Structure 1
């Protein structure tokens, strides 16, 4: 089987992906530079580059004419042709600092409700543009009275997000009596889902679900500070919106249920939480989960550099060097803990460290990476596995 496989594991989950084959590296011939002088241009692996972090994918009833699965991309506040009902979410996203948005049409089902599930199934079957943030626009409103269906929908959205190293953004109810009960009812315990409440009031006094604005805020935070920064705090304001004040007891209950509260602070609607809907303490915080998943995605993409290389000591040292250079850059930007790079991460690749003799015979390369995201004493570990040419 002529393909490359990548095995990623972090925390409690393990994911096996097959990635497309990359083109072969080109050997260039020596070029004369003068009498008797030749310069040999040797092929080298491209340095590892970080992938985008904040492309948003919105699925919703955005068109009166397009069928389920229609896709449109916009990089400004103008909705694509045919997406005549998308302007509200599009405006909310870009008003907060979003820069790259993909829209997917979810047509109505037999009950007249937007069929997000059908759109998700189509994307899983036919492919989807790369994305980092997923929002099921209108799902919380249309399925509020059907928690079983909403639970299945969110589970499907989380699966798609996980396959793309992305995050599902959920709009929690505006005023749930008990958010812990709401979470339990929907079975939401997943590090790739995060939820926000209460809903926002726009400049016209209309109550608006916060998801599109939150996606724009996350994009703005990524661009200004990095994917490892929490989209919360006094700078995490939602332009053009107001939020109602909540009693301390309600805020404490939301925090215990891992619902990210939106509060009126300094005259602006301000996000005051950055947690995932996971009870696993390792993945409790949104920037930790997103940083690790983005690092996995970036290193996954970089394995194409080594696909046609022979699995030997020289390749293992090259991989260690390239990954170390990439992670050192993250450490210098403040993404990782530690006073030195050695305290912030480690990389292992080689026979007797991450591989066996059988791995060498089957051209399987295994790389292990540890990241000190929380503090130097705590490393989050994940493994990379891929196959080189025979």
Structure 2
């Protein structure tokens, strides 16, 4: 693999001379938004087990898919969830509609899905259907994807319950899940089957988002956010609503649809790892889930880890400190196996200086940091940019 070309003003070294360190943020805090039998309304609540969810929000309900998705998340290895309970029209008892999630003025008012503005950080977003075997109001998905871009989060999309091998590939585009925003989401097909405690253990059909989110969290913990959450077994899942053949899987994978499949000796597994931009017809550096999630992790970690720059003058000593601290963070990730290259010089670089800022930027206190890295997928190099305003702790 060719080495990364490092422009002047770059660094890959370790911290020294009092430079502040960058600490990696969590990668698998999953936000769930939906209806529940009880609990605070439109207030994010963090839970670390299904038992805790049960105590606060009332557990499973045959009128909501939320409890089932949260259960599947923890059952498959999830460790931290943020729950936002919605009620239809402000009243209990009715199924949620589109305006309960993304109503007019909701973003400014931190209502609906935007109640998550009151949460400091989440990495994954699940929107379970209003009923366990139903569908989310269709127009909610595009708004949720846009919101994930704003929050550096990743949306797990469930296609309609009635989706088939023939129809699922065209569904994301029909719902507006296209363009650059589509990098921040992935669709998983088909739905899962598992015993339903509310029906005396009879097997029911459920959206897969919670189980997939748990599998992603387990992969992050075991192998790192840079590893693909693919060929990962789904715990507690006894079957799938559609059997996808090898040929069908190849066709859907090329269309950016991640299939769940039942494999001999393994049972139901997550198979694909493409973002909604992952179709073969599109050229995009973020076609693959682990590449996009690694970039989001780096952006969030570097942004938070360099917020101290707002108290500093925008000059070369500051830029050198930034290069050292961010470079040390990336070097540690390289040692953990996050990047694909024979040496650290081939794996990443950090640039912050006159090559990333104009004189006008410098005069106005704008600090721009460029990070380039070689993800594990061969022959692809990815660049991200983080910005602060130096010398302005209020800005």
What is the TM-score normalised by the length of structure 2?
A: 0.79
Q: Which has the larger radius of gyration?
A: 1
Residues 142-198 of structure 1: CA deviation (Å, up to 9, x unaligned): 875x9xx51x21111112211211101111235423222223322322111111111
TM superposition shift of 1:277: 0.8
* Among 370, 373, 389, the residue aligned to 1:371: 373
Secondary structure in 1 matching 2:239: coil
Distance 1:209 1:126, change over 3 A: closer
- Count of residues paired in the alignment: 341
In structure 2, what is the equivalent of residue 312 of structure 1? 315
Cα separation, 1, equivalents of 2:212 and 2:359? 49
2:28–2:122 contact (8 Å) kept in structure 1: yes
TM superposition shift of 1:312: 1.7
Structure 2 segments unaligned to the other structure (5+ residues): 1-15, 61-66, 196-200
Comparing 313-322 with 238-247, which one deviates more in the overlay? 238-247
Distance 1:273 1:157, change over 3 A: same
Cα separation, 1, equivalents of 2:185 and 2:84? 19
In structure 1, what is the equivalent of residue 147 of structure 2? 160
Cα separation, 1, equivalents of 2:297 and 2:328? 16
Residues 13-44 of structure 1: CA deviation (Å, up to 9, x unaligned): xxxxxxxxxxxxxxxxxxxxxxxxxxxxx994
In structure 2, what is the equivalent of residue 247 of structure 1? 245
After TM superposition, the structure 1 = structure 2 runs for residues 104-119 of structure 1, keeping only pairs within 5 Å, are 104-109=84-89, 112-115=94-97, 117-119=99-101
In structure 2, what is the equivalent of residue 325 of structure 1? 328
Secondary structure in 1 matching 2:311: coil
Distance 1:277 1:139, change over 3 A: farther
In structure 2, what is the equivalent of residue 73 of structure 1? 46
Distance 1:376 1:325, change over 3 A: farther
Structure 1 segments unaligned to the other structure (5+ residues): 1-41
Distance 1:117 1:215, change over 3 A: farther
In structure 1, what is the equivalent of residue 13 of structure 2? none
User: Alpha carbon RMSD of aligned pairs, Å?
Assistant: 2.6
In structure 2, what is the equivalent of residue 8 of structure 1? none
Cα separation, 2, equivalents of 1:125 and 1:101? 14
In structure 2, what is the equivalent of residue 193 of structure 1? 185
TM superposition shift of 1:319: 0.7
1:241–1:269 contact (8 Å) kept in structure 2: yes
In structure 1, what is the equivalent of residue 385 of structure 2? 383
Higher RCO (CA 8 Å, separation ≥ 6 residues): 2
Cα separation, 2, equivalents of 1:247 and 1:331? 37
Distance 1:125 1:67, change over 3 A: closer
* Among 216, 219, 237, the residue aligned to 2:217: 219
TM superposition shift of 1:199: 1.2
In structure 1, what is the equivalent of residue 7 of structure 2? none
Secondary structure in 2 matching 1:299: helix
In structure 2, what is the equivalent of residue 293 of structure 1? 296
In structure 2, what is the equivalent of residue 89 of structure 1? 69
Please state if 1:179 is matched with 2:182.
no
